Amino acid sequence: MTDRPGLTPSQTVGPYLSLGLTWPEGADVVPAGTPDTIRISGVLHDGAGSPIPDGMIETWQADPAGRFAHPDDPRGAAEPSVPGFLGFGRCNTDPEGRWEIRTVRPGPLPAEDGAVEAPHLDVSVFARGLLDRVVTRIYFADDPANEADPVLNSVPAERRDTLVAQKDGEGVYRLDIHLQGPHETVFFTV
C-alpha cells in the first residue's frame, strides 16, 4: 500500500469540510484590531434557495497596495502593506448558511494590456452536491473602478450584481452566493 496525500476539499464535500480543512486563522485575513478592517458576509444558498449549513467559503486577495502575500506574485515578493495580512481566509457556513470574512479592502491589480482590475476578492465555494469547488469574485458596490474592470465587464450587465457586495453599514459588505436558480451567482472556469 502506498502513502496517500492528505484530504483535499473535493474529497470532503458536505458536512465533512470542518474535519480535514481547518485553517488556524479561519475567517480572519488580518489580525484582530487591524485598522480599516472590513467584514464581508452573506448566506450560501442551494438551487432551491435554501441555506447551506455545511458549506465552506475560501477567499484570496491582494493587500491594499494591490500586492499578494505570496512569493509568486508576478511583480515579485513584497512585504504586505498591512502587518499580519495573510491574503487567505476560510470559513464554514453556520446552521443558517451564513459566512463572514474579516479583512481589509484590497487594492487594484494590473491586468493584461495595461488594464486595471478593480479591487476584488477571489472566492472558492465548497458545498454538498459539488464534486469540485466553484469559483467567483466579490467586488465592492461603492468602487468606481468597477466600471473599467475587464473581468466584471465580461459578465452580462444583468448578471453583474451577483458579484457585487453591497455596503451594509460602516465597514460591512454583504453578498449572498446562490449555487443555482434565478439568482445564481456568476461562476468562472479555473
Relative to beta strand 120-126, strand 116-117 is unpaired
Mean pLDDT, to the nearest integer, of 145-149? 96
CA 61 – CA 108 distance, rounded (Å):
10
Please give the angle made by the CA atoms of 95, 183 and 128, to the nearest 5 degrees. Answer: 40
Q: What is the pLDDT of residues 17-61, one digit of tens each?
A: 555 566 667 899 999 999 999 999 999 999 999 999 989 999 999
CA 57 – CA 39 distance, rounded (Å):
14
CA 42 – CA 49 distance, rounded (Å):
13
CA 69 – CA 75 distance, rounded (Å):
11
Confidence band for 130, pLDDT divided at 50, 70 and 90? confident
Q: What is the pLDDT of residues 78-104, one digit of tens each?
A: 788 999 999 999 999 999 999 999 999
Residue 11 predicted with pLDDT over 50: no
CB 101 within 8 A of CB 61: no
| Per-residue confidence (pLDDT) for residue 19, from 0 to 100 | 54
Mean pLDDT, to the nearest integer, of 165-172? 96
